[in-house]
Amino acid sequence: MKNLSKTAKKILKTNRRKGYTLPTNNKLYPAQWNWDSAFISIGYSYFNLEYAIKELETLIKGQWKNGMIPHILFHEKDDSYFPNHKTWKCGNSVSSSGITQPPIVATALKLIITRNKLNKNQKKRVILLIKKLKKYHDWFYKYRDPKNTGLVSIIHPWESGLDNSPLWDSSLKKIKIDKKLSYKRRDLEVSNSKARPLNSDYDCYITLLNQFKKLNYNPNKLYSNSMFNVVDIGFNSIFLKASKDLLEIAKLYNLNLKDLNKKIFKTESSLLKMYNKKKNIFYSYDLKNKFFINIPSISNYFILFADLNDKKVNKKIIESLKKYNQKEKYIFSSIKPDHKSFEEKRYWRGPVWINTNWIIYQSLKNKDKVYAKKIKDKTIKLIEEKNFFEYYSCKNAETLGANNFSWSSALYLDLIYESN
Ligand code: GLC
């Protein structure tokens, strides 16, 4: 197989703008995305530490006064994207969306600073980043878990990072679609509609967006009024892992984040209570409509990423993961292929994504080295066969979505270069 590290670096450099990196170099995503940037910064850390730190600094520059880091930052007022800054109409120092995304930034920062030697100036900047990330995590606890349950909610499918996953289908069916809805999708001008979310999904996304705008993005009102309020296992697992990582890196710089320790403890025990022993799975929960979300998604296995202190449960979940894609040549499909909601080519309803493979690989490194290695090798092989696409079919690795995709490139670099 060819080593594609040169190409990966070139993609990242080509997609880079002023201090941040686009998810891809076509017109599909002309802005900075939250979790994309976190993954991207890990890739940069192997060949340009300055770019890595800058990527996160630019992201955190968009932090709202209340602590939230938005899911999209519109540094350039590019109207070719929908929904753009004119639709959202919000942001503090940078125009942004009014919701967040899986908070994997602290985890990325930990990987970057523990694998590199930082100079004095970089250390100073990292300390500032840690303080701002603490504010971000506090925002989650305050506004996304106001009843202090230990688990945080997402209030829009876009916040999950897995936009049109079947995980959200039943919850979205309960939404009253805006009657006067009028908008024009721009993604279909540059991407194949067969591999993108449906218009009926977009109707829900925009109805929610309009609701949030009407509420002036007041975080208390968003939590209590949003027509979508879900405790997502994948999201909470990433949040817990990132909180643990934040605490660890704070210690490296003698920063005292004691209150975070207690919160981590609570989230950990609340997450464990979500374990369905009979079915051997962690299901997400629709808080608004009060039902468990019984869909076999790869993100249910992010629970392993959270590093729960329960070896027995972890072991059982790994056993289940090993059966998840038994018949497929390419792993991991976003939805289990034998489930009725599975669609081979449609975005988060079936295809293989590099970032979810990476999360699962990271989760297994300290739990099942042999299996972890297998996942890593298969992911590298898929990219080396097919290049850096946004997503792929699990049946035949057909390439889907955008080419020259930034996080696929960045995480490839991590997989081939990582030493711990
Ligand atoms: C889509 C994906 C999301 C990603 C964004 C930019 O919205 O669902 O996870 O962050 O595109 O790549």
- DSSP letters for 118-155: --HHHHHHHHHHHHHHHHHHHHHHHHS-TT--S---BS
Residues 6+ apart with CB under 8 A from 5: 412, 413, 416, 417
Which pair of structure tokens corresponds to residue 85? 């800054």
The structural domain count of the chain equals 1
Average pLDDT over residues 407-418: 98
Residue 419: predicted pLDDT: 75
Which pair of structure tokens corresponds to residue 1? 């197989």
- Euclidean distance between CA atoms 274 and 27, whole angstroms: 40
Q: With pLDDT > 90 as the criterion, what percentage of the chain qualifies? A: 96
Residue 204: predicted pLDDT: 98
- Euclidean distance between CA atoms 67 and 69, whole angstroms: 6
Average pLDDT over residues 271-293: 98
Give yes or no for a contact between 106 and 133, defined as CB atoms under 8 angstroms apart: yes
pLDDT tens, residue by residue, 321-374? 999 999 999 999 999 999 999 999 999 999 999 999 999 999 999 999 999 999
- The structure's pTM equals 0.98
pLDDT band at 2 (very low <50, low <70, confident <90, very high): confident
Give yes or no for a contact between 27 and 75, defined as CB atoms under 8 angstroms apart: no
Active site residue 232: no
Domain CATH number, residue 178: 1.50.10.10
Residues in the chain: 420
Q: Which atom of ligand 1 is nearest to the CA of 163?
A: 8
Residue 323: which of 275, 381, 371, 377 has the closest Cα? 371
Q: With pLDDT > 70 as the criterion, what percentage of the chain qualifies? A: 100
Query: Residue 315, by phi and psi: left (phi above 0), alpha (psi -120 to 50) or beta?
Result: alpha
Torsion angles phi and psi, residue 413, rounded to 5: -60, -40
- Euclidean distance between CA atoms 386 and 396, whole angstroms: 11
Residue 258: predicted pLDDT: 82
Active site residue 163: yes
pLDDT tens, residue by residue, 86-122? 999 999 999 999 999 999 999 999 999 999 999 999 9
Residue 301: which of 366, 356, 353, 246 has the closest Cα? 356
Q: Which atom of ligand 1 is nearest to the CA of 407?
A: 12
Average pLDDT over residues 380-406: 98
Residues 6+ apart with CB under 8 A from 350: 333, 334, 335, 337, 342, 343, 344, 393, 394
Residue 177 alpha carbon to ligand 1 centre in Å: 23
Catalytic option among 163, 245, 268, 286: 163
Residue 420: predicted pLDDT: 53
Kindly report which listed range (35-49, 125-139, 176-190, 298-312) carries the lowest average pLDDT score. Answer: 176-190
Kindly provide the residue ranges of all beta strands, DSSP E only, lying in 212-265, ordered along the sequence.
230-231
pLDDT band at 78 (very low <50, low <70, confident <90, very high): confident
Quote the domain boundaries for residue 10.
5-417
pLDDT tens, residue by residue, 120-160? 999 999 999 999 999 999 999 999 999 999 999 999 999 99
Average pLDDT over residues 294-300: 98
Pocket (CB within 6 angstroms of ligand 1)? 23, 29, 33, 35-36, 161, 163
* Average predicted confidence (pLDDT) for the chain: 97
Mutate to test the pocket of ligand 1, among 32, 33, 400 (most ligand atoms within 8 A of CB): 33
pLDDT tens, residue by residue, 157-194? 999 999 999 999 999 999 999 988 999 999 999 999 99
* Coil/strand/helix, residue 68: coil
Q: Which atom of ligand 1 is nearest to the CA of 390?
A: 12
Average pLDDT over residues 255-280: 96
Distances (CA, A) of 248 to 9, 46, 136, 419: 29, 22, 16, 19
